[in-house]
């Protein structure tokens, strides 16, 4: 038996366990999701906390001592165990925590998000169309809880900053959906939310 390897696994699990204990309901997790060319294109045009690339995010929900992430991914809004969510990426995830004066809005944001479970994923990335992409879900959760815009909507771009032309991956993506690329439409992204002055990045988990 390779005891050194076994020791490494045990220590890694303990470290992860200790990091999980620091998480609280209402924390936001930002990650660079492994989703190929689409995520690469998102990363090219968005900038997160300290210049980091974030292509996905979710909202921490602790229930009966188990830690879940409320997220919009795949086909729908869902509640995902933290260990499953962490496997979407090979990089450390950054943890954002609302500043103290805003934490009173967390319960209503969680309640709103739980009600959206099962809502379809927003493949078109269009705001307010009866479906949700990851940051749109978080935006609406806190919009509902706060009673006004909490995070910011910004004009979206699907163009390379180097060429000012649409990324080929987006051209093919929207051609398959048979809709126009929503260039300039208002939307949000994980990177933008990670830089909000309403939260503090408190660290990372692996």
Residue 164 contacts by C-beta under 8 Å, 6 or more apart in sequence? Answer: none
Q: Supply φ then ψ for residue 171, to 5 degrees.
A: -60, -50
Model pLDDT for residues 68-121, shown as the tens digit of each residue: 999 999 999 999 999 999 999 999 999 999 999 999 999 999 999 999 999 999
pLDDT (0 to 100) of residue 176:
97
For 132-160, what is each residue's pLDDT tens digit?
999 999 999 999 999 999 999 999 999 99
- For the segment 44-70, what is each residue's pLDDT rounded down to a tens digit? 888 899 999 999 999 999 999 899 999
Class of domain 3-205: alpha beta
- Of 126, 123, 171, the C-alpha closest to 153 is 126
Look up the pTM and report it. 0.88
Q: What is the pLDDT of residue 80?
A: 98
């Amino acid at each position: 038996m390779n005891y050194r390897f076994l020791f490494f696994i045990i220590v890694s699990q303990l470290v992860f366990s200790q990091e999980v204990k620091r998480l609280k309901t209402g924390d936001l997790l930002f990650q660079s999701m492994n989703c190929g060319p689409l995520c690469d294109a998102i990363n090219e045009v968005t900038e997160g906390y300290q210049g980091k690339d974030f292509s996905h995010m979710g909202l921490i929900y602790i229930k009966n001592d188990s830690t879940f992430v409320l997220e919009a991914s795949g086909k729908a809004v869902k509640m995902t165990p933290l260990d499953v969510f962490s496997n979407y990426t090979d990089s450390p995830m950054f943890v954002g925590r609302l500043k103290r004066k805003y934490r009173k809005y967390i319960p209503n944001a969680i309640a709103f998000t739980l009600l959206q479970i099962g809502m379809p994923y927003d493949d078109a990335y269009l705001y307010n169309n009866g479906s949700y992409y990851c940051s749109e879900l978080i935006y609406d959760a806190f919009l509902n809880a706060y009673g006004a815009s909490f995070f910011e909507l910004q004009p979206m771009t699907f163009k390379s900053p180097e060429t000012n032309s649409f990324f080929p991956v987006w051209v093919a993506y929207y051609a398959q959906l048979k809709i126009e690329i929503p260039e300039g439409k208002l939307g949000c992204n994980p990177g933008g939310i990670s830089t909000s002055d309403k939260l503090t990045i408190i660290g990372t988990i692996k």
